[in-house]
Amino acid sequence: MAKRLGQTRVLIYSHDSFGLGHLRRCRAIAQELAKQNSEMSVLILSGSPIIGSFDFRNRVDFIRIPGVIKLHNGEYTSLNLNIDTEETIAMRASIIEHTAAIFDPDLFLVDKEPLGLRGEARGTLEILKNRGTQLVLGLRDVMDEPALLAPEWERKNVLPALEDLYDQIWVYGLPQVCDPLLGIDLPDAVLRKMVYTGYLRREATPAARPALPLLDRPYFLVTPGGGGDGERMVDWVIRAYESGAEIPYPALIVLGPFMQREQQDSFMARAATLRNVEIITFDAHLENLMVDAVGVVAMGGYNTFCEILSFDKRALVLPRTRPRLEQYIRTARAQELGLASMLDDDAFPDPRPMIDALCRLPAQDRPSDAFVPGLLDGLENVNRLVGQITRRPTRTRFLARQTA
């Protein structure tokens, strides 16, 4: 082994291949760390097929591992490769382990899944633990309803990893808003590792906006996030405009890259007949579109919620309730605190409830009207926590010699 010298290194692992939530959360953290620390390099391991669509700061890079996708029965299958799922997981685990061994991070930050998809990160965690790398689990504010999360974690044998492997557990939220591990019987040793950072503030970045006439006037931004399960919400909004009712502002709908192509085409055809609806499929700088919106219609995923808070936007949220209640739990609590309003989709497809909600939206309170101390301090606190870790006495770093 050859001793390695160099900058502080952070490795971030995000297991998910579907949706934008995990990727965008990890990217936001990586970008902020690189911005605030000129001697730090951050590498993201991700299964997202669209990670290359996003831009990254200097000293932030990514490695894309083979993607997988969850089927309706809960099982996983390879996203693009015609190979067995077990082979895909084995490849992913090997790439994660070998990348970590060579990159040799000072901090390994795991997003949401404590042991990775089907335990694919366990070997890496054990190797890095032996090297003295600080291991941190990052959790969003809501995981799932306790009745489902507790047995899921028991089945995955998560608690021993939280006790024996991880040094800290960061929750990207506040306990007075949501407790992601509510209902799980955690030992004191694990509870002492938990740190609530606050939500992750987002910023608009310089980028070209889509060439749409609608952007020259006030509009509602409609976003189902990645779009893989947002058809119902988009359909309902379009029905409201198709009704001919007087809605105060036009709608800019961003469908998301994971919405089925046939459904995208159908929505675009319907919007083409409406003078006050514009549709685009995807924008890697959605935050810039949100800045100029007079109101937001969304599904209530973690990242969209952070953007709504960051840009202080009046929001109408239609949370999904399947397969997890995560969005519903978050949105219901946000409504209680006055941070957003929620519309239940039980009345779908009747356009009237959506019309009424859109008409009320411009007069709704802004999130800042509900004062919650420390609400958006997440990135600042994550940077502080990373600084505490990296300021400790330098451990011995090693780089495996290449063999002929």
Pairing mode of beta strands 2-3, 398-399: antiparallel
Q: What are the structure tokens assigned to 7, written together?
A: 């900058």
Residue 78's pLDDT is what? 67
pLDDT of residue 84: 82
End-to-end CA distance of the chain: 15
Residue of 9, 50, 381, 53 whose CA lies nearest to 201: 381
Banded model confidence at residue 86, pLDDT cuts 50, 70, 90: confident
User: d(Cα 104, Cα 398) in Å, to the nearest integer?
Assistant: 7
CA dist 57 and 94 (Å) reads: 27
Whether 1 has a pLDDT exceeding 80, the answer reads no
- Give the C-alpha separation, 266 to 271, whole Å: 9
Q: Which domains does the chain have, with CATH numbers?
A: 2-200+376-399 (3.40.50.2000), 213-369 (3.40.50.2000)
Q: Which two tokens stand for residue 143?
A: 């995981």
Report pLDDT digits (tens) over 52-79: 888 899 999 999 998 876 655 556 666 6
**Six-digit token pair at 224?**
């189902």
Report percent pLDDT > 70 for the chain: 92
The answer for 117, left when phi > 0, alpha when psi is -120 to 50, beta otherwise, is beta
Which residues have C-beta within 8 Å of that of residue 200, sequence separation ≥ 6? Answer: 25, 28, 29, 172, 306, 376, 378, 379, 382
> Model confidence over 152-210: pLDDT tens digits?
999 999 999 999 999 999 999 999 999 999 888 899 999 999 999 999 999 988 777 78
Better-scored residue on pLDDT, 291 or 52: 291
Selection from 201, 212, 301, 288 nearest residue 251 by Cα? 212
Please report the DSSP string for 294-353 in residue order: SEEEE---HHHHHHHHHTT--EEE----SS-SHHHHHHHHHHHHTS-EE--GGGTT-HHH
pTM reported for the whole predicted model: 0.91
**Mean pLDDT across 43-51:** 90
* Alpha-carbon distances, residue 95 vs 48, 78, 279 (angstroms): 15, 16, 38
Closest to 261 (Cα-Cα) out of 275, 282, 245, 284:
282
Q: What is the pLDDT of residue 6?
A: 55
- Express each pLDDT in 98-154 by its tens digit: 999 999 999 999 999 999 999 999 999 999 999 999 999 999 999 988 888 889 999
- Arithmetic mean of pLDDT, 17-31: 84
CA 178 to CA 366: how far, in whole Å? 20
